Every structure is written in C-alpha cells, then in structure tokens.
Amino acid sequence: MSVAHDGPTADAGASVDDNETTLRERVAANPRPALLWLLGVGVLFALEMGRFAGGIRSIGAATGFVIGGVAVGPSWVEGNVAGTLGPIAGDIAFVLTAVLLLLLVAVPVRAVLPVSLVKTVGLERSSETDDFLEQVLVAAGVGAVAVLVVATPVGALVDALVAAITSVLDALSSLPTITSREVIPNQGHRLPSGGWDDTFLGLSPAAAWAIRVAVVYAYAFIALAWAWIGYRIFREHYREADWTPRDDSVNRFRNHYWGILGLVIVFSFVVMAMWAPALGPTTAEENLFSPYENEFEYLDGNEVVTVSHGTANLNSRSQGGDDTIGPMSYDDYNRWAPFGTNQDGKDLFTFLVFGARTSLVISLTAIGLATSIALGMSLITAYYKGVIDVLTVITSDTIISVPAFLMVLLLSVVFQEANHPIAAVYDGGLLLALIFAFVYWPGLWRSIRGPSLQVAEQEWVDAAKSYGQSPFQTMRKHMTPYIAGYIMIYASLLLGGIIIATAALSFLGLGVNPPTPEWGRMVSEGRSYISTQSWHIATIPGVFIVFVVMGFNALGDGIRDAIDPESNVGNGDTATTGGGA
C-alpha cells in the first residue's frame, strides 16, 4: 500500500522534492496507463449500466426504509406509552426517545465530520467534558436538520430531489444491459413453418441460452481480469514503494495453481449467485414461485397456444421411467432444460442458480457475523487478558462442548417449532445464518487465539502503547493486520463447512423451507429417484455442493500458503502437491 498523502499540496510543492508526491500527482505525471485502464472500466460499466443503476436504487430504497423506520420510532413509543400511562407520559416518552435516537445517530455523524464542533465554537474546557459536549452538539445539529426537513418547506424540496434522483435511476436501470434476458432472450416458441419465434436471432432456445451464459461469464471474468490489470498498473507505474510485504503474498498466490483453481470455482459460484436471474433458462418467479400465475406460448400441432407454467410443469415431471426430462433436453412444451427438470417438473438449472444465491447469502451472513465476533473477541482477550479472557474461554468451551451439528439441529428445531418471527425471514435462511454464527465463532476464535496472543506480545504493540496510542487503535492498526490473514484462511475453509451444513439441514427438512431454493433440499427430494432415469435430480446438486466446498477449501489453502512466508510455492514443484494434502 502506498502512503497517500492528502491535504494541501500546492504550498508544500516548493519544499518537497519529487520523492514525496500524491497519487494524483503521480498519475498526472504519467497519465497514459491510468487513462487506458479507466477507459476499460468505463466500457465495462457502460455495458452493465442498468444493473448498476438498479443496484444503487435498491440500496437507496433500503436506506430510505431504515431512515423512515428510525424516524417513526419516537411516535411509535409515544403511542404505546400514551396508551397505558396517558398523554403526558406519552409526550415525555416521545422527547426521551427522540433525544436518545439523536445521540445515537450523532455517533456515526461525528466519525465523518471533518472538524470538531467544540473547537469551532470555542467551548473547549477539559478533555473529560469535551467528548460529551461534542456528542451533544452534533446531536443538536442532526436534530435541527431533522426538524427543518419535517416542519418546513425544505422537506418538500428534499422529497422532490429524492424523486428526481429516483426517476433518473429508474430510467437508467431500464436500459438494456449486455447480460440481461431481454437482450438475449431464449424463451420462445417453435413456428409452424419451422424455426423459432421470440428468441435471440431466431436461434433455438438452447443456443440462445448458451450464448447468454457465455456472455455473463465472459463479462464477469473480464471484469476480474481488468481489476487485476489495474492492480498491476498501479504497482508498476504509480505506487511509491517498489516493494511492500504484501507483494510476496500476491506473487506466492499467483504460482499456487491449486489455490487459483479454488479462486476460479469460488468466483464462478459467486457469479452464478449474482447473475442468477440472467442465467436461468426461465425466471424463478414464473417457474418456481408462482407457476400458475404466469403463462407462455408453445406450438401445439400447428397452432400456437398459451399455457401456464404450472400446467406445463405437471407434464414435465421427472419421476423415473420414460417421462423423465433429463439434462440437455427440451420438454414437451419446447422449454429448454439444461439440467432437466425435478420431480415437480420445475427447471433444475433455475433452481440451482437461485439455490446458489441462498447458499451464498446464508454462508456469507454467518461467516461475516462469526468472523467479526471471533476477531473482536480475540483482539480484546489478547490485549486485556485477565478476567475477560477467562470468561471468553468458558463461554466458548461451553458452546464447543456440544457437538456443533447437534447444536445447530437443536436450535433450529426450537426456533422453528416455536414459530419465532426470525424463522420466517428468508424461509428460515436468516435463522440458519444466525445459528451458524453462534455455533462456529468459538472455533474461529480458538484458531486465531494463538496468533492474537503472539502479536499482543510483539514489541511494536508495546511501543504503540508506550507512545500513547489508544487501545482500539492499537488493536486495529497494530494487531489486526497480523491476524487478518489467519482469519481469512479459517473463514474460507469454514464457508465450505457452512454450505455443507446448510445442505445437510435442508436434506433433513430443518433448513431452508420451500419455496426458497436450496441445494440440500433438492438432493433430499431427488434421492428416491437416484436409481431411475431421473438420477440427475439428486446428482447434479450433489456434485455442485462437492465442487463449491472443494473450491472454498482450495482457496483457503492458497491463501494460507500465500501469507506464510516460509511456504515455498514459488519454486513450482510444491505448488501442485501443497494444497492437495
């Protein structure tokens, strides 16, 4: 990483020699590689403009939803309290809640404010009170803005602005993107005269679908490669340091073929989840979720007739025997089924790509939570030691002492039987993620406990303390970089474990409930047909699980060897065997 000096550079220019420049100046001195790269980024961005705009729009909508929720908080509390204790108590509760919320909101606002209000206003007294005063001032500022928006015409102005931005984004997101279904449609019907109607260039649905899948993956891998090229350009042309300790890790990973294979598999899996709506030969909405409310046309004899997906699915079921719609075939309604259909006649490929989404969301949420808990606890226990360390050891030992899978089963049964509201979100997906995070953080914490204790004993941590660095900053700047590598390895290895466990739970009927697609459930549902013509229903999702888990493990191995300076992958001969063990 280079040291990017921000701040005024014009006045410094005179006294500073050419060794000390900002990234901007370095780019200005040699703009060609950077411009070429940015041009590429621009092209990639333009090709998928609609998707990006849609993404921004949904983030904006989610933010608006959260702000709205927070804003009605005080009124909601007022209503509740007024209902039981009378209107005056309600008013007091309203004010208290509003003040509390303002103080809470002030925390993140303070972090981004470039100046200290206390210093600006000149209220500095002593460092004991400054902190609190600053918080109050920021909260007051936020409150003033809120009142301005709610009670004055400024509010209408803000609304109009938001509406304008939304409509622009709407317009942008309706633009066709290169990977969208609309640009390369594959759902059409045969014409009485032969040939196909409504498909891409009149090609067969199979060909159109194959082209779309190829375009999606080509786009994703080109974007990945372009990001790598960008890093290389930065390293070669614009970074101040010739070499940083991270370079060695990157170089080691480049020569680690097993790790790269893992990266490719994991990346393909992520692409599958991200582009799920574009990859499926049909959409999840019409084929999986509400098949009877969506219709399509097909050629029956000599005339084109309309039929609902539900009806068509009934006649395309793969339940063994000769009726099976196997992989790479059309069903009786000329719908292309790359992986065949399942026992309900639903398209297996569509099910799989949306199942990838489910697996990814659950495993990433779980791993994110578990990793943050484990990292936080390991830093705190290594830094402070003593009682908090003992308490954490006892807690984690308690959780670990129950076999992990039993614990997961137990918790998921308890919550599902109780019909807890959490169990309803994402058809049980969120519940699963929370349970996994709870069950697996002690393991993660234990695996990074050694390195954390080690780094806490390093002299540079003592040195940081000895020049007065705060505990939080010491942990963040001087301890986390050392542990980050370890936690990445364990997290990527555990990710595979969570995907398997989710599948296993769904196989047992305790995981993700229908209609949300999940690979393990498909294995479970297809297993009675494994010895029949419909062998593909359980086999294909099973193979996918195996590959994805293997991919995550390989990636973990690769990262481990890359960050371990004593591993010798650079020589090539250990690279092929290193990860296989």
Contacting positions for another protein (CB under 8 A): 3, 5-9, 12, 15-17, 19-20, 126-128, 240-241, 244-245, 384-386, 458-460, 462-470, 477-478, 481-482
Kindly state the helix (H) or strand (E) to which residue 304 belongs, with its residue range: strand 303-308
Query: Which amino acid makes up residue 451?
Result: P
User: 261 near 580, Cβ under 8 Å?
Assistant: no
Measured from the CB atom, is 308 or 392 closer to another protein?
392
Torsion angle of the four alpha carbons 553, 395, 104, 433, in this order, in degrees rounded to the nearest 10: 40
Shorter beta-carbon distance to another protein: residue 6 or 322: 6
Q: How would you class 417 by CB atoms within 10 Å of its CB: exposed for 0-12, middle for 13-18, buried for 19 or more?
A: exposed
Residues 6+ apart with CB under 8 A from 142: 102, 105, 106, 109
**Helix or strand (DSSP H, E) at 314:** helix 309-314
User: How many angstroms separate the CA atoms of 482 and 465, rounded?
Assistant: 17
Q: Shortest gap between Cβ of 118 and another protein (angstroms)?
A: 14
Nearer to another protein, 153 or 386 (CB): 386
Q: How far is the CB of 460 from another protein (least distance, A)?
A: 4
- d(C-alpha 363, C-alpha 366), whole Å: 5
Cis peptide before 541 (omega within 30 of 0): no
Tell me the one-letter amino acid at 475: M
**Complex with another protein: residue 234 or 298, whichever CB lies closer:** 234
Angle at which helix 87-112 crosses helix 127-151, to 10 degrees, equals 110
Q: From the CB of 22, what's the least distance to another protein, in Å?
A: 9
Q: What are the helix (H) ranges across 122-153? A: 127-151
Closer to another protein at the Cβ: 22 or 166? 22
Residue closer to another protein by CB (options 4, 61) is 4
Q: Could you tell me the smallest distance in angstroms from the CB atom of residue 8 to another protein?
A: 7
Least distance to another protein, CB of residue 34, Å: 21
Q: Are 518 and 220 in contact (CB under 8 A)?
A: no
Shortest Å distance, C-beta 27 to another protein: 17
Q: Are 349 and 537 in contact (CB under 8 A)?
A: no
Distances (CA, A) of 225 to 1, 249, 351: 20, 18, 29
Do the bridges between strand 295-300 and strand 196-197 make them parallel or antiparallel, or are there none, so unpaired? unpaired
Nearer CB in complex with another protein: 310/451: 451
Closest contact distance (angstroms) between CB of 577 and another protein is 30
**CB of 481: closest distance to another protein in angstroms?**
5
- Smallest CA-to-CA distance from 47 within 240, 199, 178 is with 178
Contact (Cβ atoms closer than 8 angstroms) between residue 238 and residue 27: yes
Which amino acid does the sequence have at 527? R
Residue 232 or residue 477: which is nearer to another protein going by CB?
A: 477
Q: Which two tokens stand for residue 174?
A: 């309706």
Using the minimum distance from each CB to another protein, give the nearer residue, 136 or 304: 136
> What beta strand segments (E) does 483-539 contain?
none
Nearer to another protein, 152 or 470 (CB): 470
Closer CB to another protein, 303 or 459, in the complex = 459
Give the chain's end-to-end CA distance (angstroms, integer): 33
Residue with tokens 């370079």: 247
Contact 118, 137 (CB under 8 A): yes
CB of 382 to another protein, least distance (A): 11
Tokens 């019909």 sit on residue: 419
Burial of 538 (0-12, 13-18, 19+ CB in 10 A): buried
Tokens 């799920």: give the residue: 276
Q: Nearer Cβ to another protein, position 198 or 240?
A: 240
Query: Mapping DSSP to helix (H, G, I), strand (E, B) and coil, where does residue 225 land?
Result: helix
Q: Compute the least distance from the CB of residue 482 to another protein, in Å.
A: 8
